[in-house]
Structure 1
């Protein structure tokens, strides 16, 4: 079992499904991003304030392993945990359908930071009050 530090419940909207009636693969990135942003907001971290200070947190790589499809009106949870790996902050995010607790997606999202347009060594992640 994973040691998740945050989870959020969401619901599939009809327009997120493709002609096959399943959630389009690109939509999953939106779910993952929303969960990361909600987690950061729960830690009182504002992208607007960071940007005003010249600090940009950016995705540098995403790996997604699709396990089962979500369909219209499914409710699901995105659960995440994080690790610091060198210059990167790595989010491990899993999506579970609530009706049967089926694992639908496993993702690894690598985030880097730039300060005043220069790549950092990740030291900013240590100052953001995050749980590793």
Structure 2
């Protein structure tokens, strides 16, 4: 991925909120690679919500920087937790995040069965 000018703040570095956008994009790409269609999920009454986000900022990205976004995940009770790293091209850490997601089916919190089934081969 590449930092765009408008993602930077007055100090010339990526604004903190944009790291969350990068992480969200990475989660969506990961889930889509497993066949998840968020529009179809919603039509089926199933919605994923972020319930908690923690981000530690390490070494700022700047306009034009290329970077890599990586993740791994684990089920923690009914929550799917993503552990995410934003990495400079030299491998140094720009930001590290932990994002907890829950699933709601027809307005009711689930025990995460959809995620558990979807990720059974990934979470070995």
When the two structures are superposed, what TM-score results if normalisation uses the length of structure 1? 0.90
From 91, 95, 111, the counterpart of 2:86: 95
From 64, 78, 103, the counterpart of 2:69: 78
From 21, 44, 60, the counterpart of 2:51: 60
1:112 aligns with 2:112: no
Q: Structure 2 unaligned segments of length 5 or more: list them.
A: none
Q: Greater helix share, 1 or 2?
A: 2
3-state SS, counterpart of residue 62 of structure 1: strand
Aligned length: 122
Task: Render the CA deviation track for 1:62-85: whole Å, top value 9, x for unaligned.
Answer: 000001000000000000000000
- The answer for the alignment partner of 2:8 in structure 1 is 17
CA distance in 1, matches of 2:41, 2:119: 14
Task: Render the CA deviation track for 1:28-59: whole Å, top value 9, x for unaligned.
Answer: 11000000000011111100010010000110
3-state SS, counterpart of residue 127 of structure 1: helix
CA distance in 2, matches of 1:27, 1:84: 26
Q: Structure 1 unaligned segments of length 5 or more: list them.
A: 1-9
- The answer for the alignment partner of 1:33 in structure 2 is 24
